[in-house]
Amino acid sequence: MKRSRFLPALGAGLVLFLAACTGAAESPTPASAGSAPTDEPSPTTAATESAEVSASAHASAAAGEEATVRISQFAFDTPELMVAAGTEVSWVNADSAAHTVTEGTDGEAADGPIIDEELEQNGTATFTFDEPGTYEITCLFHSQMNMTVVVH
């Protein structure tokens, strides 16, 4: 008899818990810089991490700001970067292999690329995008490494 009362209450509690998690994923709050790590993960940890991953898929920077793209595990950390004209973009190679940051696609340079820099491990390349447009960026050594910089 007690079991028949327990299951509906458990189901209702699970629905409320999932609703709370879903709401957190739709409007994540940034973690404060001074937050102390805890051993207990919060119920919204997975939702927050998921939101951070999708936020990095399309990064952006406003005029006068700097943007940094990290190269790791043979990939640019964002497939698309939206920036205002005049933004300085830096690429940092966090891989042990050398990479290039080259205007072009699929490992082929564009005719007269605006940027074509080789980066060793921990190397950095920087370029200021002054003209609005869409710029494809690739690695000449690894044709699967591609990203787009959209300048508005």
Q: What is the pLDDT of residue 39?
A: 41
Global pTM? 0.61
Residues contacting 59, CB < 8 A, separation 6+: 67, 69, 78, 80, 81, 82
User: Would you tell me which CATH number, out of the four given (3.30.499.10, 3.40.50.300, 2.60.40.420, 2.60.40.10), belongs to the domain 62-151?
Assistant: 2.60.40.420
Q: What is the pLDDT of residue 148?
A: 98
Indicate the domain borders of the chain.
1-27+44-57, 62-151
Q: What is the pLDDT of residue 49?
A: 33
Ranges in the chain, pLDDT < 50: 1-4, 6-7, 10-56
Q: What is the pLDDT of residue 150?
A: 97
- The residue assigned the tokens 């290039």 is 100
- Would you say 95 and 119 are in contact if contact means Cβ atoms under 8 Å apart? no
Q: What is the pLDDT of residue 75?
A: 98
Q: What is the pLDDT of residue 119?
A: 97
Q: What is the pLDDT of residue 65?
A: 74
